[in-house]
Amino acid sequence: MKILGPIAGIGSRLRPFTLSKPKAFISIAGKTVLDHILTRFSNTFDSETELILIVGYKKRQIINYINENYNDKFKLTFIEQVPRGYKDNVPYYWGLGEAVHLAHKRFKKNDVKIKEDDKREGSLIFLGDMIIIDEYSYVLYRYHESDVDGIITVMRVPKEEAGSYGVVVTDENNIIKKLVEKPKTFVSDLAIAGIYAFSHSATLALFEKIEKYLDQRTENSKEIYMTESLQDLVDSGFKIAAIELKKGILDFGRPSEVLKGNKFLLEHQSIKKEDYQKLNITVERSFIKNPNYIGKNTKIINSVIGPHCSIGNNSVIENSILESCVIENNAVLTNVISENSIIGSYAIIENISKDNLIIGDKSVY
């Protein structure tokens, strides 16, 4: 099975943080979002698994980082998604459908006769701003043990929020009959949760379905989503099951979701006092109320930290009170009182008492 990750987009909903880095590089609980995803994959797949990353925005940053940190974990392939155009010098793209289709050359067009081999040689597609809480091994077990051609993970959402998602309608056996992208009227409360697994034959068929929409593009066309192609896949006879994630997902596509995901991750992996010396963390005249994450070489002086603060490496926090905040690497905060804030790398913040701050990398405030 090949793992396919479309991570070319700019993450406009996470501005200003994505002005200087890809959206998958937001740091939470000591790791980037992409690290959290790939670490989970490396615990499930062996090092012979091909990881195909579709890159675009900040591509060099992604390629260098992945080569440096995951070269021994996967067989790495990078494919560039070329921008559709630029607006204010910022690239924009043709969307998820095109990104997935770009991987088609990595899948041989051979006819796999045995059902088990067809599944084993298929694809697993993930999105770079979503972390599923359930184990990937659970998802793959459901994929391999079910008599289906593929699965799509789903989660139940409040009825009033369903219009913000792609949703699915299933039969009594959880086989998908209908997929709708952001319906204007209520269709279903089963929202697509960003993990897809398809057999080899279903993957090839999906590429063909997407290609049809790519060939119909005009200069005024909207982004090419994958939902219509998935509907075509279902209509052509492929049996695709909806696998409901009981624990749900962490979606890091918006600042509010970053804070929510940060809180969840810290509840499961907090810093311990005995880690301070090992990580060269200095804590003086301060109160640390866990769960928190504190990066190496960080100094915390005369401050109250936590709960639910994620503080990156080489940061300095002095005379401050912080709760439920994400502070990235090399930040310097002095006389700051804040809750539910996100502050980027190399930011210098002084003399402010305000909640819900959103401050990008290298800012002075």
- On whether both 208 and 122 belong to a single domain, the answer is yes
Residue at 69 is within a domain = yes
Which helix or strand (DSSP H or E) is residue 191 part of? strand 190-198
Write the Ramachandran bin of 151: left for phi over 0, alpha for psi from -120 to 50, otherwise beta: beta
- On whether both 223 and 352 belong to a single domain, the answer is no
Task: Say which CATH number the domain at 187 has.
Answer: 3.90.550.10
Confidence of residue 99 (pLDDT cuts 50, 70, 90): very high
Tens of pLDDT, residue by residue over 255-269, are 888 899 899 999 988
- On whether both 206 and 232 belong to a single domain, the answer is yes
CA 66, CA 24: separation in Å to the nearest integer?
Answer: 12
Nearest to 281 by CA among 308, 307, 306, 316: 316
Residue at 217 is within a domain = yes
Residue at 265 is within a domain = no
For residue 74, count CB atoms less than 10 angstroms from its CB and return exposed for 0-12, middle for 13-18, buried for 19 or more: buried
Most confident range (mean pLDDT) of 186-190, 335-339, 360-364 is 335-339
- On whether both 194 and 77 belong to a single domain, the answer is yes
Residue at 266 is within a domain = no
CB atoms within 10 A of CB 177: 13
Nearest to 304 by CA among 317, 291, 294: 317
Number of domains in the chain: 2
- β-pairing verdict for 240-244 and 90-92: unpaired
pLDDT for the residue 330: 95
- On whether both 331 and 278 belong to a single domain, the answer is yes
Residue at 140 is within a domain = yes
Q: Does the pLDDT of residue 129 top 90, yes or no?
A: no
243 Cβ contact partners less than 8 Å away, ≥ 6 residues apart: 139, 142, 143, 151, 152, 153, 154, 174
- On whether both 175 and 276 belong to a single domain, the answer is no
Of 253, 282, 304, the residue that ends a domain is: 253
Of 185, 218, 253, the residue that ends a domain is: 253
CA 72, CA 55: separation in Å to the nearest integer?
Answer: 20
Confidence of residue 333 (pLDDT cuts 50, 70, 90): very high
Residue at 312 is within a domain = yes
- On whether both 173 and 105 belong to a single domain, the answer is yes
Indicate the range of 63-72, 134-143, 305-314, 317-326 predicted with least confidence.
134-143
Tens of pLDDT, residue by residue over 164-222, are 888 999 999 999 999 998 899 999 999 998 899 999 999 999 999 999 999 998 888 88
Q: Does the pLDDT of residue 161 top 80, yes or no?
A: yes
Write the Ramachandran bin of 279: left for phi over 0, alpha for psi from -120 to 50, otherwise beta: alpha
User: What's the average model confidence in pLDDT over 272-301?
Assistant: 95
Phi and psi at residue 69, to the nearest 5°: -105, -15
- On whether both 19 and 86 belong to a single domain, the answer is yes
- On whether both 34 and 168 belong to a single domain, the answer is yes
CA 177, CA 244: separation in Å to the nearest integer?
Answer: 15
196 Cβ contact partners less than 8 Å away, ≥ 6 residues apart: 123, 124, 125, 150, 151, 152, 153
- Parent domain of 7: 2-253
- On whether both 105 and 180 belong to a single domain, the answer is yes
Indicate the range of 14-18, 154-158, 273-277 predicted with least confidence.
14-18
- On whether both 289 and 207 belong to a single domain, the answer is no
Taking CA atoms, 294 is separated from 21, 31, 229, 361, in Å, by 21, 11, 44, 18
Residue at 364 is within a domain = no
CA 43, CA 136: separation in Å to the nearest integer?
Answer: 9
CB 152 within 8 A of CB 243: yes
- On whether both 230 and 306 belong to a single domain, the answer is no
Residue at 365 is within a domain = no
Task: Say which CATH number the domain at 285 has.
Answer: 2.160.10.10
Of 253, 288, 304, the residue that ends a domain is: 253
